Amino acid sequence: MTLMNKAGVMFRSASTTPDVIQLPTTYVGEFSGSGYLRTLNKFVSGSAAPAFWTGMPQGVQAMSTIGGNVYAVNAGQQRLGPFFTTRPSWQGRDQAAVAAKDLAGHPDRRGGDQEA
């Protein structure tokens, strides 16, 4: 049983429902739509809103806001990957070639068995 399946089962009974849970953003909609999550609006709205929330980019806040209700505090989204310019000038090396060489031995960084 996956952790999210287990959470779904736990939510069915008041005696096993967790007070706080960390979950992937994709499950916020599912669990809030099922009525399992309580809104956090009163904790993140108005003059008493914590600084971490008011300083958070609107796009990150929106990731866990559904129909105007905030159901989760999202930590943001991280995207990693090689970045290089179109000009192969960094210290005389072609950055695209350096990135491809670095990824060649790491299929997990390329998303499977794709050619670099």
Q: DSSP letter at 20?
A: S
Q: DSSP letter at 91?
A: G
CB 75 within 8 A of CB 55: no
Neighbours of 7 (CB within 10 A): 19
CB 39 within 8 A of CB 71: yes
pLDDT tens per residue across span 59-102: 889 988 999 999 999 876 666 566 555 554 555 555 566 566 65
pLDDT tens per residue across span 99-112: 666 555 555 554 44
User: CA 21 → CA 18, 68, 94, 103, distances in Å?
Assistant: 6, 21, 46, 35
Residue 23: which of 43, 39, 2 has the closest Cα?
A: 2
CB 101 within 8 A of CB 88: no
Residue type, 16: T
- pLDDT value of position 5: 85
pLDDT tens per residue across span 52-66: 899 888 888 998 899
